[in-house]
Amino acid sequence: MNEPYGPAGEAEPRGFRRQRRDDESTASSDREDQDDLENADRPTRFDDAGAADAQDHQRGADRRSGRDRRDEPPIPDDVEASELDSAVRRDLLSLDKKNGETVARHLVMAARLLDEDPEAALEHARAARQRAGRIAVVRETAGVTAYHAGEWAEALSELRTARRMSGGSGLLAVMADCERGLGRPERAIELGRSDEARALTGDEATELRIVVAGARMDLGQYDQAVVTLQTPELDPSRSGPAAARLFYAYAEALLAADRHPEALEWFLNAAAADLDGDTDAEERAEELAAEQAGDE
């Protein structure tokens, strides 16, 4: 199977507040979450506690996890809760002041460490979730951080929980890529066909298409992967990270479909669009050009 396509352009801990929807049944999704965690050979299950207040909630979480707060990763003294986005801080106002400040500082650390040490970032995100598991943005942050750390089952479980709590269709591409990471490309394709997927626009829709194309390639459906990425956004005059990622994915699909001259063209387009040097498109283009020259 091809590797999951990697952290999506929007797959970062975010601070926006979503409209809460009415409570609804979550039994089916909870069973899916349990299956994911068991299949991934990761024994720890991360559930919401059913306590009536925040302190009882935390004590119950500690008992179930077999972990107490002394096991939390240390937070440097210079980390301030005020560094967190104001919208997220507002979401934490339901916590008591001391706990809310600690949760905020753990979230700041998760964001700081995400790129350089995703495993350490995940420890902070887990600590925040353990203290504030009923707050959607905390669960979303835990999910995104787990995704960056390659913990696909945990990421999927947390993101499902966040969506049940707050609604919306955000991070659908990340969820689909987690399905790929768990060896379930068919489920990634199903997510790409969902009503929520059809409602996506712009870069979010593009990111999901990239994941679905990767899932097609996992299944050996290379021509279908090419077609999946053929959208109006596939315009070589575009530039920037989103365009570079799309062009690169399209080049990969063309290469897998044995359409090498076109693949070279789109690796070159990706290199031109990649103003920040986030991809290795230029190197891939050089390698492919050398291969084609050797074949002539």
Residues whose CB is less than 8 angstroms from the CB of residue 227 and which lie 6 or more positions away in sequence, other chains included = none
Give me the pLDDT at residue 41, please.
39
C-alpha to C-alpha distance for 224 and 212, rounded to whole angstroms: 10
Q: Residue 117 — very low, low, confident or very high, per pLDDT cuts 50/70/90?
A: very high
**Spatial CA neighbour of 205 closest among 178, 240, 169, 181:** 169
Give me the pLDDT at residue 221, please.
98
Give me the pLDDT at residue 70, please.
64
Give me the pLDDT at residue 21, please.
28
To which residue do tokens 């920037």 refer? 240
pLDDT digits (tens, 9 = 90+) for 52-61: 343 444 444 4
| Confidence (pTM) | 0.76
Whether the per-residue pLDDT at 15 is higher than 70: the answer is no
Residue percentage of the chain with pLDDT more than 90 = 70
Higher-pLDDT residue of 210 and 39 is 210
pLDDT digits (tens, 9 = 90+) for 218-268: 999 999 999 999 999 999 999 999 999 999 999 999 999 999 999 999 999
The CB density around residue 90, as the number of other CB atoms within 10 Å, is: 12
Residue percentage of the chain with pLDDT more than 70 = 75
Do 227 and 205 form a contact (C-beta atoms < 8 A)?
no
Residues recorded for the chain: 296
Give me the pLDDT at residue 205, please.
94
Whether the per-residue pLDDT at 271 is higher than 60: the answer is yes
Do 185 and 219 form a contact (C-beta atoms < 8 A)?
yes
The CB density around residue 296, as the number of other CB atoms within 10 Å, is: 4
Q: What's the mean per-residue pLDDT of the chain?
A: 82
pLDDT digits (tens, 9 = 90+) for 75-92: 999 999 999 999 999 999
Alpha helices in the chain (DSSP H): 27-39, 54-65, 86-91, 97-113, 118-131, 136-148, 152-166, 172-181, 185-192, 195-199, 202-218, 222-228, 241-256, 260-273, 281-295
